[in-house]
Amino acid sequence: MIVSNETFSVDVRVTKPRILRMSNFENLISIMKTLRSDKGCPWDREQTHESLRPYLIEEAYEVLDAIDAKDDNELKIELGDLLLQVVFHAQLAHEEGLFSIDDVSSAVSEKLIRRHPHVFGDAKADTSDQVLTNWEKIKQSEKGPGKKSVLDGLPSHLPALLKAFRIQEKVARVNFDWQDIKAVFGKIREEISELEEAHDSTDQAAQEEEFGDLLFSLVNLARHLKVTPEDALRFTNEKFIRRFNYIEEKMSLTSESMDDATLEQLDLLWDEAKRLEKKPVKSG
């Protein structure tokens, strides 16, 4: 079978016999080795761990988009693209004599077994909270002797909102946490008051600090509500885009530009977009 588009064609029969002798995953590894070889692809040969960083992040976010869209076929494709990034980095490390994709698989398998003693050992963990507490204790013990912070190991490049969430998760597992959600709401009111005071003082540095404190407290509220703040904000961003696009579409049907419209006109269209989103869809 010949697979082609406007710029290339590939005879699948050339590679099919070799592919059938190995698993799909082994074939992916073999393809990556070929791409990195002297007879491979110039672009792939030029790549480094550093140059691939943006692609790794991009592919992870495209997986999230597929999940949000509830598109199973797209999710399959995007997970494959993300897996390719893992294999690519492992191949680079293998060429440098550091580790292989097999070492990567082995390390994560050993870690999963080690951190699930309630499944693979005789430990007890009847709830998710107990599992997470045990996980953190085991993780701390893996760091070896010496006094080390429970916050060690947090990736420095995590998005700030997600990092705040992970910080609070970790300290909560050693009981550094509000006892109930009312206290969290109280803390938020306190931070709003302090932000208002900073605003009145016109101290820009103080405003930034107090705004950060408020955000941190809101993330804490999200954790107590069992809401992932990154997801919540992403959904709200998408909701805003949908509604704003509706306003743009409606305004395009008139002779008036958005620049000339009053805020009252735009608010009416915004409310209309909200009503349409909430309106139930009639079946049949």
Each residue's pLDDT tens digit, 9-40: 454 444 444 444 569 999 999 999 999 999 99
Q: For residue 129, what pLDDT band results from cuts at 50, 70 and 90?
A: confident
Average pLDDT over residues 39-56: 97
- Does 193 score more than 90 pLDDT? yes
Query: 11-20, 119-128, 170-179, 182-191: which range is least confident on average?
Result: 11-20
Q: For residue 135, what pLDDT band results from cuts at 50, 70 and 90?
A: confident
- Say which DSSP state 10 is in: E
* Pairing outcome for strands 9-11 and 2-4: antiparallel
- Does 2 score more than 70 pLDDT? no
- Residue 13's pLDDT is 45
Query: 145-154, 194-203, 227-236: which range is least confident on average?
Result: 145-154
Please state the domain extents for the chain: 2-99, 154-227, 231-276
213-251 per-position pLDDT tens digit:
999 999 999 999 999 999 999 999 999 999 999 999 999
Strand, helix or coil at 9?
strand
Distance, in Å, from the CA atom of 29 to the CA atom of 22, rounded to the nearest integer, reads 10
Q: Name the phi and psi angles at 154, rounded to 5.
A: -70, 125
| Residue type (1 letter), 246 | Y
CATH superfamily of 2-99: MazG-like (1.10.287.1080)
- Does 1 score more than 50 pLDDT? no
Cβ neighbour number for residue 115 with a 10 Å cutoff: 18
What lies within 8 Å, CB to CB, of 19 at 6+ separation is 27
Q: Give me Rg for the CA atoms of the chain.
A: 26
Which alpha helices (H) appear in 175-203, and where do they start and end? Answer: 181-201
- Does 281 score more than 80 pLDDT? no
- Residue 17's pLDDT is 41
Query: 12-16, 85-89, 153-157, 217-221: which range is least confident on average?
Result: 12-16
Higher pLDDT, 264 or 257: 264
Q: Do domains 2-99 and 154-227 have the same CATH topology?
A: yes
Average pLDDT over residues 38-63: 96
Fold of 154-227: Helix Hairpins (1.10.287)
Mean pLDDT over each residue of the chain, to the nearest integer: 89
What lies within 8 Å, CB to CB, of 235 at 6+ separation is 68
Q: What's the whole-model pTM score?
A: 0.69
In three-state form (DSSP H/G/I as H, E/B as E, the rest C), the secondary structure along 61-129 is HHHHHHHHCCCHHHHHHHHHHHHHHHHHHHHHHHHCCCCCHHHHHHHHHHHHHHCCHHHHCCCCCCCHH
Alpha carbon distances (Å) from 83 to 25, 80, 113: 10, 5, 22
